[in-house]
Structure 1
Amino acid sequence: MSSPEPTIAADPGHPVANGGSNKTGNGTIPNGSNKTGSNGSIPNGSKKTESNGTTVPNGKKSSSPTAASISGALHKDLITRGVYKSNPLGTSTFVGLRALDPLLQFGLLGGSGLSWGESILSRLGIPAIPFIDHALTTTPDIDISSTILFPSSPSLSPTSLGGLLGLPTPRLIIFLMATGSSLKQIFWLLYTSREEFTPSAAITVSAYNTLVNSLASLLLIAIPTSASLAPSRISIPLPVVGTFTLPLPMAIGSALYISGMSIETASEVHRKKFKDKPKNKGEVCTTGLWSKARHINYAGYTLWRTGYALAAGGWIAGGLVAAWHVWGFAYRSIGLMDEYMSGRYKEKWEAYKKDVRWKLVPGIY
């Protein structure tokens, strides 16, 4: 998910497209080169780095762009590629900020009697769906069904799906998506990530995710944009609790969200298990979902972000978010990662590219 475009760098769920680098204990770039000093020179005085990132040994310009390409990729990325060490301050900052996000979304969605979202929309002159109307099957004042017909079981009240949270079903769905995104990203940093995550990266990533999630919460409760007011419905039978009728954007968005989360998490866990085996040191992970597309975790991230936006703001919001992420990955992140991986794995990466032609979406791109 440098000083990156938030769409790309802001999700810590996709720090490495595939493979990663061998561990280094001193924080230097793990290709055998020395770390560049603050004055742009190599400490041993035999090399220096030009402003364009080209390494010049003994005053001569390097004929190979590989080092410059990798350096450029590293400095444009939030993740310090190839630097394998923990950063307690960065980790604690990220975990703390991401853990706070669901609490903010809960307030924006009107939980516990809070009405932060409605207050913000009111100041912007945008009409909001009253909390009580989202907890009923119809909203006579705007003559549109609230789109969530609650369980057919008469023993369940309109807000019972929210349990102790007390949220109507549309708001509960979006709240659960916010919570899921936080838990997934915390899991990524504490378990699947191997590279350093600095405090500045933690703040940038957290701020972006909180901003996007907050916009989704506001889209849901705003009358002009809410997916919960979509006229198209789909009935979903659930065991024990009965049948739910959901607006089509929320149903499809939920499916995309679950699918994307599953793809991104499964691919990253598989890669971690692959890299943890000593025999795979220096190898590119080409099995599992990585045999389908070279940046399959990016595809998973795009899916769940699209589903989140679709479930909150409907077709337009979902389409814009999908286009934004596909553009960002296709024209920025994938190129940067390809440069890095080509420099690190050389012929192994080139062979992988020949074997797995799809970059992002199997069979499409």
Structure 2
Amino acid sequence: MAENDPRANDPRSEESKSKDLISRGDHTPTPFGKAVFFLARAADPFLQYSILAHGLGTGLLHRVGIRTLPAGLPAHTGISLIDGLELSPYRLVLLGMAVGSAVKQNIWVTLLSGEPMATHNSLAVGAFNTVFNSLSTYAFLIRATSASMESDFPQPALLVGGALYVTGILTELVAEIQRKRFKADPKNKGKIYTGGLWQFARHINYGGYTLWRAGYALVGGGWGLGALVGAFFFWDFSQRAVPVLSEYCEKRYSNDWKKFTEQTKYRLIPGVY
């Protein structure tokens, strides 16, 4: 491998590298790839709105006998931009979650992430997030799976799911901002960040992502879908992402990483894992 090859900064095995979409230790600029990611995530709220407001794709569901919810009465907030969407309060919450996830991830890709992002990875990650957002949206629209089958608003699933979503997405964002500020200081070059939210879990950003994904699914498809999606991401992070990132940190930071693991017992979610 050439001396100027950025992959030389990643001491992990090739197997671990193949499981990671991020090139650790590589800071090669990839403006086009990041622009693709930005646009893919920015387009998602428009897709979710088309599903929620106009029933995009529900015609296919009706053809196979799947019943969907009626549109419901539009919300009246007194804010023309919001009221002009003509969505019911519950649907507004789901759309807000799509917008929030897109904004959070685009803040990350433009301001917080220093690693390169290849175009194919940008498309894959963008599509992955859109699929899970759409899963929650369609689960809400389908009568058999919707979390909104009660007349009262807000429903328990909305309250609990909303709390998980806000807690998770803010945890992920704040943790990444804290780490970025630490890494931006030249005095901290080559050091591992162990302060802020990271003192509560070694991969607290992944834990935050797991929480808000579970909350989003809970708001759309109820307790069953929320538990299923939360379990999926918990499994993926604990079995794939955390081990491959831990290998990188162990080999790059050596004793500092060992000390961090001794001080911070939890990997993803404080008090849980």
The TM-score by the shorter chain falls in which range? over 0.9
State the AA in 1 paired with 2:258. Answer: E
Contact 1:307 1:318 in 2 (8 A): yes
Look up the match of 1:72: 15
Q: Which aligned pairs between 1:50-199 and structure 2 lie closer than 5 A?
A: 67=11, 69-110=12-53, 114-131=54-71, 134-135=72-73, 156=76, 162-199=82-119
Contact 1:25 1:84 in 2 (8 A): no
Gaps of 5+ in 2: none
Contact 1:161 1:168 in 2 (8 A): no
State the AA in 1 paired with 2:162. Answer: S
Match for 2:259 among 345, 351, 354?
351
**What is the distance in 2 between the residues matched to 1:321 and 1:261?**
15
State the AA in 2 paired with 1:119. Answer: G
Normalised to the residue count of structure 2, the TM-score between the two structures is: 0.93
1:313–1:348 Cα change, 3 Å = same
Structure with the bigger percentage of strand: 1
Deviation at 1:28, TM superposition (A): 3.4
| Deviation per residue, 1:292-351 (Å, 9 max, x gap) | 110111110011000000000000000101111111111111111111111111111011
Structure with the bigger percentage of helix: 2
Look up the match of 1:254: 162
1:297–1:170 Cα change, 3 Å = same
State the AA in 2 paired with 1:268. Answer: E
1:252–1:117 Cα change, 3 Å = farther
Look up the match of 1:29: 8
State the AA in 1 paired with 2:83. Answer: G
State the AA in 2 paired with 1:106. Answer: Y
1:157–1:360 Cα change, 3 Å = closer
Q: Over alpha carbons, which structure has the higher Rg?
A: 1
Deviation at 1:97, TM superposition (A): 1.2
State the AA in 2 paired with 1:361. Answer: I
1:229 is the counterpart of 2:156: no
1:360 is the counterpart of 2:268: yes
1:91–1:346 Cα change, 3 Å = same
1:318 is the counterpart of 2:238: no
State the AA in 2 paired with 1:176. Answer: G
Gaps of 5+ in 1: 1-23, 32-66, 137-149, 151-155, 234-244
How many positions carry a matched residue from both structures? 271
**What is the distance in 2 between the residues matched to 1:211 and 1:28?**
31
| Deviation per residue, 1:178-211 (Å, 9 max, x gap) | 1111111111000110100110110100111111
Bigger mean CA offset, 71-80 vs 293-302: 71-80
Normalised to the residue count of structure 1, the TM-score between the two structures is: 0.70
Bigger mean CA offset, 329-338 vs 313-322: 329-338
**What is the distance in 2 between the residues matched to 1:301 and 1:169?**
25
Look up the match of 1:241: none
SS at match of 2:202: coil
Look up the match of 1:203: 123
| Deviation per residue, 1:128-148 (Å, 9 max, x gap) | 0121xx228xxxxxxxxxxxx
Deviation at 1:118, TM superposition (A): 2.7
| Deviation per residue, 1:248-305 (Å, 9 max, x gap) | 1011111111110110000000000000011111111010001111011111001100
